[in-house]
Amino acid sequence: MLMKGDVLFGSAVPLSSKNAAKRAATSGWDFAWFEMEHSGFELTELEESMQFLLDRRQILSQGSLARPVVPLVRIPSNGRELNQWIVKQAMDQGVYGILFPHINTVEEARHAMQYSRYA
């Protein structure tokens, strides 16, 4: 969609609100990001929220386990802190992408890219 120049819509989803994750699944949004920079880094809540993003009716009708919205997470560490483990643990929960706050240099962006790929 981005490659075609389409406009995408989405919103932040608080981890503490399972209802918000359920609404995001049927919202028609293209993406939703789970906010972990300004809230606690709770991997169990992220895992639970990811489950609420699954729309079982959509899985049945489309025959696919792909989530109806692209799940992203904004991690608590910024680009200068180089905390690989946070990225890996968030990705292990099934998010499709990471939002890195406060990346200011090319070097920080390079590190972020390297952390976001499995070996």
Residues 6+ apart with CB under 8 A from 77: 83, 86, 101
Q: Are 36 and 75 in contact (CB under 8 A)?
A: yes
Residue 101's pLDDT is what?
87
Binning pLDDT at 50, 70 and 90, where does residue 119 land?
low
Binning pLDDT at 50, 70 and 90, where does residue 1 land?
low
Through-space distance between the first and last CA atoms of the chain, rounded to whole angstroms: 27
CATH number 3.20.20.60 is the correct assignment for the domain at 10-115: yes
Give the position of tokens 């690989």: 84
Q: Is the pLDDT of residue 6 over 80?
A: yes
As a whole number of angstroms, the distance between CA 107 and CA 80 comes to 9
Structure pTM?
0.80
